[in-house]
Amino acid sequence: MDTNLAIAILAISFLIFIVCKMPIAIALAASTTLTLLYIQVPVMTLVQQMSKSVDSFSLMAIPFFIFAGEIMGAGGISDRLLKFANVIVGRLRGGLAHVNVLASMFFGGISGSAVADVSSLGCIEIPMMTDAGYDKDFSVAVTVTSACQGVLIPPSHNMIIYSLAAGGVSIGALFMGGIIPGILLGVCLMIVCGIIAVKRRYPKGEKVSLRTALKITGDALLALGTIVIIMGGVVSGIFTATESAAFACIYAFLISVFVYHELKLRQIPRLLMNTVRTLAVVFSLIASAGAFGWVLAYLQVPALVSNALLSVTSNRVIVLLLINLMLLILGCFMDMAPLILIMTPILLPVVEQFGMNPVQFGVMLILNLAIGLCTPPVGGALFVGCSIGKISVEKATLAMLPMYAAMVVALMLVTFIPAISLWIPGLL
């Protein structure tokens, strides 16, 4: 068996399948099958590794988190979080842009999904901003990029996927590690929004009376209680991640039905169906990427990549910059979940040689790949935002250039300052 030829078959066949627009899960499984046939390993290994990849209790948290996000999205949460964000930052210059970022921070802490954030909040935020005199491309750019906070601020099912791929890194530590980087990303975006707002003379928001502000805050705090349940339960050890996700579903249901009175029981079957659809995509990716990753390990690709990077340079800064550049490029062409599953076992041993903590690397990896959610040609959040805003991808991408710069600054800070992602886990 020629190992180099086997690696070439695996990589080239996968790229060909992707270019042919084959679904990523099927492309991963097909390229794995071709490689197994060449190296004369029984194809049944594919089935065994796919089954093994999804046979994890930790993954049970994912459907609960997705369902909780569906409930909160349909239960009147979006409008309340927008009003709450307006109370805090609405009166600033370019107030609606700041409201957009802050609302995404809050909603991301409930849904854990950038695409869900754009879908739920974008339908309200983009028309609201354009009606107030903001340029449509700027409105879409802010909505799409700010939604990426949702994959960092807990709960994030991508953190759970990384924990699985990294061999069992603490989900609680990952959740806590994403808080400051998520807020940092929001602050960087708000700084850029503020500069653009002053330059283009976007309007300030209206002042809210104290009585109205207190009422809005009370409504929003009930919604944000979901975050308290999830983070408090996991960190304190009262709940596992799976148990906290299940309790979050119950809490979200009670608040949406009996307090806000906006979620009807007849909507539940549709929300369950949406959850199953999302879950089918996520689990099929996890299963096929698990088999793909087994072949990578069998062919000793992680060791080869590690040696290749270290042969270029032994300088820690340059190696980390090269890793980030590689991930940014890959994020333009592949979705987040398969990249986490494929690249974690390859790159984690490399960064550990330089003393990087697995929690810090996980946060860095997810923030890096979050940028890919708003970059062409396959950025999911970008396409949803353009669809809602009814503008071209090219126009939105051009408007996002300052936002991309802010996101890269946040990425560099997370990469080279360990305390940003490790301070809170270290305290707790």
What's the Cα-to-Cα distance from 314 to each of 262, 308, 324, rounded to whole Å? 57, 11, 16
Of the candidates 370, 381, 407, the residue with the CA atom closest to the CA atom of residue 188:
407
**Residues 6 or more apart whose Cβ sits within 8 Å of residue 352:** 358, 361
DSSP 135: -
Q: Which residue stretches of the chain have pLDDT < 50?
A: none
Per the CB < 8 A criterion, the answer to whether 36 and 298 are in contact is: no
Cβ atoms within 10 Å, residue 54? 14
Q: Kindly state the tokens that stand for 305.
A: 């990549």
Omega prior to 127 cis, within 30 of 0: no
Q: How open is the CA angle 163-323-108, to the nearest 5 degrees? A: 45
What confidence score (pLDDT) does residue 191 get?
Answer: 93
Q: Kindly state the tokens that stand for 374.
A: 């708003």
What confidence score (pLDDT) does residue 253 get?
Answer: 87
Instruction: Compute the chain's Rg from CA coordinates.
Output: 22
Whole-angstrom distance, CA of residue 383 vs CA of residue 150: 17
Q: Give the DSSP per-residue string, 240-271.
A: -HHHHHHHHHHHHHHIIIIIS----GGGHHHH
At residue 173, φ and ψ (nearest 5 deg) are: -65, -40
Of the candidates 210, 109, 204, 98, the residue with the CA atom closest to the CA atom of residue 156:
109
Per the CB < 8 A criterion, the answer to whether 172 and 241 are in contact is: yes
- Token look-up 């739920």 returns 120
Per the CB < 8 A criterion, the answer to whether 252 and 75 are in contact is: yes
Burial 150-182 (b: 16+ CB within 10 A, else e): bbbbbbbbbbbbbbbbbeebebbbbbbbbbbbb
Whole-angstrom distance, CA of residue 238 vs CA of residue 255: 22
What's the Cα-to-Cα distance from 225 to each of 110, 162, 229, rounded to whole Å? 9, 25, 6
Number of helical (H) and strand (E) elements in the chain, helices listed first = 22, 0
Of the candidates 393, 402, 308, the residue with the CA atom closest to the CA atom of residue 346:
308
pLDDT digits (tens, 9 = 90+) for 177-214: 999 999 999 999 999 999 998 898 888 777 778 788 88
What confidence score (pLDDT) does residue 411 get?
Answer: 95
Helices (H), 23-113: 24-38, 44-54, 61-74, 77-89, 95-111
What's the Cα-to-Cα distance from 182 to each of 151, 154, 215, 360, rounded to whole Å? 8, 9, 27, 13
Per the CB < 8 A criterion, the answer to whether 245 and 68 are in contact is: yes
Whole-angstrom distance, CA of residue 116 vs CA of residue 55: 26
**Residues 6 or more apart whose Cβ sits within 8 Å of residue 171:** 58, 61, 159, 160, 163, 234, 241
Q: What are the structural domain ranges in the chain?
A: 42-427
Q: Kindly state the tokens that stand for 239.
A: 């709940």
